[in-house]
């Protein structure tokens, strides 16, 4: 994917969340955003996913200019996939219907074909036995894997993850991360906000450390995780890795 | 471990366990006995002589009133649900005038007695509009009255579908209309069915007030019988039983819906 951000600024009222961000990346397949809570990484992800617009500057993802009308933004959102922290399956629909809904209603695929595709996807990720269960009958990890299936089903240009394991019990974290890793190996393009540093290190080919509304450090995982001398970043790593 | 049998076990339920059938039966019988005593005592002091044969002659007019009450309540239920949906959506509308109108409407209807609404609507509004059909007037009044409550029920239902789901719908690329159609309404419907059933029971009882504008519904029929026979209790006791025959099944249905909904979420 290609990302081009010029002087991008996002505010909520008087509070500046992202301050004049410049970023130019190309040929990235897996971008990971890390940093302290409240630092702006989730807002950054939401802007890149077309869920919010910055007040100033330019944002381009691949060929899409994201400073545009709501209708164009809607069209953009229909081409990307988004996975939230958790609980983002629709509770009144079973797993299969959750995956079929965007296929049928948004992508305009015939119902029987959407069903086939959704079942194939569930089969592939070992979730076939849960196809007809409502979210309430599924574990957090299963719910999240089905949410990922829903995002993948539309064959998105880019797949976004907003802390996909933060709301899960630790025992379910690895099954979700395994699935994301599998998608990455299949050349799915990913942008991921995560607190799982080990996973971020292993699964990214570019890392942004975002804090206090700006990109503090950026580079390959090796550069950011091993070689950085930035005291702000080192302090963060010391804290989050203390008990690892 | 089984506790030793005690007399109190017959009357005090243990939390977390269901009450055994024979204990239930004993308590129901005792309660029925107490009520019978109470009423028996009341009536004996009244030294009232029941003359059921006097009202038996009016059974057809009572039955027609009963049907009229059902008919008005059902018709009002349908229109008040439609009106209620409209006001619930208007209440959330970004069009300020619509929003305010809905707000004022709900506050006024919920804040004033039905009796006053019936009189004002019938003698002022219906009269000015040339609406002479009492049945239609009755349905309209009850619809207006119930719709304010139903609007609030539906609004609460819409708001119970959380922001995360709206957000997810947005990220999937659903339009606002599609979000309502596929995400919000299906959940609102299951969620509002129990309170809606309760509202229907109220509607049935509240429609008794329509008798003041001489609509020949159930209560009006009982009042007429009473006026003709001076058999007050013989007219009103069947009336109470008739209303219970309608409201008890509804409240039973409501409990079942609640339970079903509870297990689903």
Residue of B nearest to A75 (CA): B173
- Does B139 map to a domain? yes
Query: According to the model, what pLDDT value does residue A88 have?
Result: 86
Confidence class for position B1, pLDDT limits 50, 70, 90: very low
Residues B87 and B26 in one domain: no
Give SS3 for B245: helix
- Does B2 map to a domain? no
Q: In chain B, which residues have their Cβ closer than 8 Å to the Cβ of A88?
A: 164-165, 167-168
Q: In chain A, which residues have their Cβ closer than 8 Å to the Cβ of B157?
A: none
**Domain span holding position B171:** 53-260
CB contact under 8 A, A105 and B178: yes
Confidence class for position A3, pLDDT limits 50, 70, 90: very high
CB contact under 8 A, B165 and A82: no
- Does B88 map to a domain? yes
Residues B59 and B177 in one domain: yes
CB contact under 8 A, B264 and A134: yes
Domain count, chain B: 2
B213-to-A29, B69, B243 alpha-carbon distances in Å: 75, 14, 20
Which residue among B171, B175, B182 sits closest to A49, beta carbon to beta carbon?
B171
Confidence class for position B230, pLDDT limits 50, 70, 90: confident
- Does B1 map to a domain? no
What's the pLDDT tens digit per position in B120-131?
Answer: 999 999 888 888
Q: Whole-number mean pLDDT of chain B?
A: 89
- Does B226 map to a domain? yes
- Does B112 map to a domain? yes
Residues 6+ apart with CB under 8 A from B208: B69, B217, B218, B219, B243
Residues B103 and B203 in one domain: yes
Residues B58 and B38 in one domain: no
CB contact under 8 A, A105 and B264: no
Q: What percent of chain A has pLDDT over 70?
A: 99
A191-to-A5, A80, A165, B153, B176 alpha-carbon distances in Å: 15, 11, 14, 41, 26
- Does B172 map to a domain? yes
Query: According to the model, what pLDDT value does residue B3 have?
Result: 54
Model's pTM, two decimal places?
0.76
Residues B22 and B122 in one domain: no
Residues B35 and B137 in one domain: no
- Bridge partners (DSSP) of residue A3 are A25, A61
A134 and A89 Cβ atoms separated by less than 8 Å: no
Give SS3 for A36: coil
Residues 6+ apart with CB under 8 A from A155: none
CB contact under 8 A, B168 and A91: no
Residues B105 and B206 in one domain: yes
Interface probe, candidates B94, B169, B173, chain A, greatest A C-beta count within 10 A:
B173
What's the pLDDT tens digit per position in A53-112?
Answer: 999 999 999 999 999 898 999 999 999 999 998 768 999 999 999 999 999 999 999 999
Question: Residue A237 and residue A239: Cα distance in Å, rounded?
Answer: 5
Q: Where are the alpha helices (DSSP H) in A78-139?
A: 95-101, 111-124
- Does B265 map to a domain? no
Residues B13 and B87 in one domain: no
Which residue among B168, B174, B265 sits closest to A88, beta carbon to beta carbon?
B168
What's the pLDDT tens digit per position in A19-65?
Answer: 999 999 999 999 999 999 888 999 999 999 999 999 999 999 999 99
Residue of B nearest to A85 (CA): B164
CB contact under 8 A, B165 and A88: yes
Residue of B nearest to A87 (CA): B164
CB pairs < 8 Å spanning A and B: 50
The first and second tokens of residue A73, run together, are 């933004």
Query: According to the model, what pLDDT value does residue B59 have?
Result: 87
- Bridge partners (DSSP) of residue A193 are A33, A162
Query: According to the model, what pLDDT value does residue B263 have?
Result: 53
CB contact under 8 A, A92 and B187: yes
CB contact under 8 A, A88 and B265: no
Query: According to the model, what pLDDT value does residue A145 have?
Result: 92
DSSP conformational letter for A130 = G
Interface probe, candidates A105, A107, A147, chain B, greatest B C-beta count within 10 A:
A105
Residues B67 and B130 in one domain: yes
Q: Report the CATH number that the domain containing residue B81 is assigned in CATH.
A: 1.10.3720.10
Residues B62 and B29 in one domain: no
At A9, phi and psi to the nearest 5? -125, 135
Average pLDDT over residues A198-221: 92
Residues B31 and B63 in one domain: no
CB contact under 8 A, B265 and A136: yes
- Which residues of chain B have a Cβ shorter than 8 Å from any chain A Cβ? 164-165, 167-168, 170-175, 178, 182-183, 186-187, 190, 264-265
Distance to chain A for B155, nearest Cα, Å: 18
**Of A93-107, B3-17, B24-38, B54-68, minimum mean pLDDT range:** B3-17
Q: In chain A, which residues have their Cβ closer than 8 Å to the Cβ of B183?
A: 90
Which residue among A75, A84, A102 sits closest to B164, beta carbon to beta carbon?
A84
Residues B89 and B113 in one domain: yes
Interface probe, candidates B163, B164, B172, chain A, greatest A C-beta count within 10 A:
B172
What's the pLDDT tens digit per position in B136-191?
Answer: 999 999 999 999 999 999 999 998 888 889 999 999 999 999 999 999 988 888 88
Interface probe, candidates B165, B166, B171, B185, chain A, greatest A C-beta count within 10 A:
B171
A58 and A65 Cβ atoms separated by less than 8 Å: yes
Residues 6+ apart with CB under 8 A from B210: B72, B118, B138, B141, B142, B217, B219, B220
Distance spanning both ends of chain B, measured CA to CA: 35
Q: Residue A101: name the closest of A136, A88, A160 by CA.
A: A88
At A218, phi and psi to the nearest 5? -145, 155
At A89, phi and psi to the nearest 5? -80, 150
């Amino acid at each position: 994917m290609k990302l081009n951000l010029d002087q991008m600024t996002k505010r909520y009222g008087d509070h500046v969340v992202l301050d004049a961000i410049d970023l130019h990346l190309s040929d990235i397949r897996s971008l990971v955003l890390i940093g302290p809570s409240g630092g702006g990484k989730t807002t950054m992800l939401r802007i890149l996913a077309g869920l919010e617009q910055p007040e100033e500057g330019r944002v381009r993802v691949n060929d899409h200019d994201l400073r545009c009308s709501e209708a164009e933004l809607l069209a953009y959102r229909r081409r990307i996939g988004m996975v939230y922290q958790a609980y983002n399956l629709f509770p009144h629909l079973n797993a299969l219907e959750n995956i079929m809904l965007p296929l049928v209603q948004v992508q305009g695929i015939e119902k029987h074909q959407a069903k086939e595709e959704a079942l194939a996807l569930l089969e592939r990720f070992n979730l076939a036995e849960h196809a007809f269960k409502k979210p309430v009958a599924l574990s957090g990890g299963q719910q999240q894997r089905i949410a990922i299936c829903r995002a993948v089903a539309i064959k998105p240009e880019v797949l976004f993850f907003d802390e996909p394991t933060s709301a899960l019990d630790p025992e379910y974290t690895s099954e979700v991360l395994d699935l994301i890793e599998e998608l990455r190996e299949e050349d799915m393009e990913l942008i991921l906000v995560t607190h799982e540093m080990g996973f971020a290190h292993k699964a990214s080919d570019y890392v942004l450390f975002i804090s206090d509304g700006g990109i503090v450090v950026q580079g390959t995982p090796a550069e950011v995780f091993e070689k950085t001398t930035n005291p702000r970043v080192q302090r963060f790593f010391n804290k989050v890795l203390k008990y690892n | 471990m089984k506790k030793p049998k005690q007399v109190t076990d017959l009357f005090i339920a243990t939390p977390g366990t269901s009450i055994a059938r024979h204990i239930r039966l004993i308590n129901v019988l005792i309660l029925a006995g107490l009520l019978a005593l109470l009423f028996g005592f009341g009536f004996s002091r009244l030294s009232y002589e029941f003359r059921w044969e006097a009202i038996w002659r009016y059974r057809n007019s009572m039955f027609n009133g009963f049907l009229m009450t059902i008919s008005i309540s059902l018709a009002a239920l349908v229109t008040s649900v439609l009106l209620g949906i409209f006001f619930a959506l208007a209440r959330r509308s970004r069009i300020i005038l619509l929003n305010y109108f809905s707000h004022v409407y709900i506050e006024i209807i919920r804040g004033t007695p039905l009796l006053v609404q019936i009189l004002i609507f019938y003698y002022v509004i219906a009269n000015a509009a040339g609406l002479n059909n009492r049945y239609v007037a009755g349905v309209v009044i009850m619809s207006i009255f119930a719709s304010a409550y139903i609007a609030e029920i539906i609004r609460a239902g819409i708001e119970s579908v959380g922001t995360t789901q709206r957000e997810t719908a947005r990220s999937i690329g659903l339009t606002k209309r599609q979000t309502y159609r596929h995400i919000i309404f299906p959940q609102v419907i299951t969620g509002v069915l129990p309170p809606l059933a309760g509202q229907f029971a109220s509607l049935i009882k509240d429609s008794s007030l329509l008798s003041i504008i001489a609509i020949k519904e159930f209560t009006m029929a009982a009042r007429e019988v009473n006026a003709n026979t001076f058999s007050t209790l013989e007219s009103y006791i069947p009336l109470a039983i008739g209303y219970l025959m309608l409201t008890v099944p509804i409240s039973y249905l409501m409990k079942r819906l609640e339970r079903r909904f509870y297990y689903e979420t």
